[in-house]
Structure 1
Amino acid sequence: MAEKEEKAVELRDITANPAPLGLLGFGLTTVLLNFHNAGFYPLNSMVLSMGFAYGGIAQIMAAWMEYKKGNTFGLVAFGSYGLFWWSLVLLLMIPQTTFFNMAGKSPVQAADSTSLAAYFFMWGLFTMVMFFATLKKGRGLQVVFISLAVLFFLLTAGEITGIKTITVIAGYEGIFTGLSAVYVGLAEVINGEYGRKVLPV
Structure 2
Amino acid sequence: MKKLSFLFALFILLTAFTCEDEPLEGDFQNENSNNNATLVGTWSLIDFNADITSESSFGGIDFVVDFTAEMVEADYELVFAESDYTVSGDYELQVSTTFEGETTSYSDAYTNVNGSGTYSTNGNIMTVDGSFVEFDFEDMPMEVDQGEQMAEFSLSADGQTLTFFQDIVQTENGGGANVTVSTVATSVWQKVE
TM range (shorter): under 0.3
More strand by share: 2
TM-score (norm 2): 0.22
Larger radius of gyration: 1
TM-score (norm 1): 0.21
